[in-house]
Homo-oligomer: A and B are copies of this chain.
Amino acid sequence: MKAPYRLYLNENQIPDAWYNLRADMPVLPDPLRNPATGAPAGLEDLTPVFCEELAKQELDGKTRYFDIPGPVMDIYRQYRPSPLVRAYNLEKALGTPAKIYYKFEGNNTCGSHKINSAVPQVYYAKQQGLTALTTETGAGQWGSALAEACAYFNMPLTVYMVKVSYEQKPYRKAVMQTFGADVIPSPSDTTNVGRAILEKDPNTTGSLGCAISEAVEKAVTTPGTRYVLGSVLNQVLLHQSIIGQEARIAMDMLDEYPDVVIGCAGGGSNLGGLIAPYMSDKLNGKANPRIVAVEPASCPSFTRGKYAYDFCDTGRITPLARMYTLGCGFIPSANHAGGLRYHGMSPILSKLYHDGLMEAVAVEQTRVFEAATMFARLETILPAPESAHAIRAAIDEALRCKESGQKETILFGLTGTGFFDMSAYTRFNEGTMTDTIPTDEQLQASFDTLPKVPGLDD
């Protein structure tokens, strides 16, 4: 079958179970740990923060497939399957012998893949009889997705939005408010953590780690309330496996197998979901595709971070996770535009990277926006800056193929649209965008704040 520009599966080809990559890993990621005792976290540690079913998914490294509940499937069917697109025009413009495919997740109101995990998280919370949820959002994709899912299930939601995004993205805020969410700029004076950070640095632009601290504090101090997170966690990668599974089915229909699979990586939700079936092949010795994570040079957790136990939040109140991290106190330069601002990385992906099963590259934002603009003009989709990191790497791979004459097949994840990131595009268009790369000294100062784990580091 010759690839069409866009291949849509039909609805009954949507997988009806999420695939749990951990079940195929020879060695599981290190467990979450209680920061006070150093003991591996169990259900009782997680359920005060997370809804019960999600806490179970978080800890379950054995079950290979989780059935997708009917009401979740019903919403998936409203905006899925997402198309697998052959980038014919991009290939032609690059003059590459490579074939470029992308899985596009932006066909919904929140404009990104985040809705794939938002829907089940709200569903399980509703099932448990919870009465409110809290979360944080950076660029706003996750907050919009969760607000949409909460509106659908009629669940009240408070969103702590990183202050710099709150100010730069009024339309994102308006989307969340349209869906009925309460949106608060973080750090705020509504939590102890927020007040402490504000006292230390009243002019902080905020960080994802800090917003997480506030959302968690609010959840554990409010009855009937739990916290939900849009990336990093195992449960989120589980839900996002829908992306990779659909991509795999569509690629199989075209008799294609990728030589390289590329995804942008902030906390790892999209990347972990996209690569799941291909990493499975790799772990099971069935195939050996390259897997490439792309991160911003201004927030380079894979390429310059440490593989260490760290807090998931700036306020140091969450369990400890072993992951590639820049230190939970790391705050990327305010000059950095759009998403992928998290100090750490999914423990699953961190483990795979540490074991040499995947690669990572860091790219500078001016090169990212060059790629984004080229892509927009050729492919009729104006990409989110986050997604454009993957575009940049895919273009670089395609140019390498042009150089070498190799006819490789490239698959990348196009996680969303850039409709809400136009101020960043404006800076790029006006030539005022610059690159900011943290110095070794800055990173070292941040590493110095890494926690000791009782019993391990004593």
Contacts and interface: CB of A to CB of B under 8 A. Distances in A.
Contacts of A429: 174, 177-178
Interface string A364-384: 000000000100111111100
Interface in A347-401: 373, 376-382
A174 B421 CA distance: 10
Nearest to A428: B178
Contacts of A420: 171, 419
Interface residues of A, number: 43
Contacts of A10: 4
Copies of this chain, complex-wide, total: 2
A269 to B, nearest CB: 19
Interface in A396-449: 417, 419-420, 422-423, 425-426, 429
Contact of A89 (B4, B78, B423, B425): B78
Contacts of A151: 376-377
Contacts of A422: 170-171, 174-175, 178
B380 A148 contact: yes
Contacts of A177: 425-426, 429
B5 A78 contact: yes
Contact of A380 (B115, B180, B377): B115
B4 A174 contact: no
Given A4-B77, A107-B107, A377 B179 contact: yes
Contacts of A179: 376-377
A288 interface: no
B109 A381 contact: yes
Contacts of A78: 5-6, 89, 379-380
A47 to B, nearest CB: 29
A423 to B, nearest CB: 7
Interface of A: 4-6, 8, 10-11, 75, 77-79, 89, 107-109, 111, 115, 148, 151-152, 170-171, 174-175, 177-180, 373, 376-382, 417, 419-420, 422-423, 425-426, 429
> 3 tightest CB-CB pairs across the interface, nearest first?
A174-B422, A171-B422, A419-B419
